[in-house]
Amino acid sequence: MASKTKLLLVDGNSVAFRAFFALYNQLDRFTNQDGLHTNAIYAFNNMLEIVLKAVQPDAALVAFDAGKTTFRTAKYADYKSGRAKTPSELLEQLPYIKELLDDMGIAHYELKDYEADDIIGTMAKRADEAGWETTIVTGDRDLTQLTTDRTTVQVTVKGVNELEAYTPAHVKEKLGITPAQIIDLKGLMGDTSDNYPGVTKVGEKTALKLLNQYGSMENLYANVDDMKKSKLKENLINDKDNAFLSKQLATIDRDAPLTVD
Under the banding of pLDDT at 50, 70 and 90, the label for residue 82 is confident
What average pLDDT does the segment 227-249 reach? 97
- At 111 the three-state DSSP class reads coil
Cα dihedral angle (251, 257, 259, 261), rounded to 10 degrees? 60
d(CA 125, CA 127): 5
Which of 205, 195, 197 lies closest to 244, judged by CA?
Answer: 197
- Please say if the pLDDT value at position 226 is more than 60: yes
Under the banding of pLDDT at 50, 70 and 90, the label for residue 1 is very low
d(CA 70, CA 75): 9
**What are the structural domains, with CATH classification, of the chain?**
6-174 (3.40.50.1010), 177-250 (1.10.150.20)
Which of 160, 157, 139 lies closest to 43, judged by CA?
Answer: 160
170 Cβ neighbours under 8 A, 6+ residues apart: 147, 164
The number of CA neighbours under 13 Å toward the Cβ of 73 is 11
Under the banding of pLDDT at 50, 70 and 90, the label for residue 84 is confident
Sort residue 82 into left (φ over 0), alpha (ψ -120 to 50) or beta: left
% of the chain beyond a pLDDT of 90? 90
d(CA 183, CA 23): 32
- At 71 the three-state DSSP class reads helix
- What pTM value is reported for the model? 0.95
Return the pLDDT at 2: 45
Q: How many CB atoms lie within 10 A of CB 249?
A: 23
Instruction: Calculate the average pLDDT of the chain.
Output: 95
H-state helical runs in 88-230: 88-91, 94-104, 116-129, 168-175, 182-189, 204-214, 217-222
- Please say if the pLDDT value at position 168 is more than 60: yes
Q: What is the pLDDT of residues 59-80, one digit of tens each?
A: 999 999 999 999 999 999 999 9
Which of 26, 6, 201 lies closest to 123, judged by CA?
Answer: 6
% of the chain beyond a pLDDT of 70? 99
73 Cβ neighbours under 8 A, 6+ residues apart: 79, 80
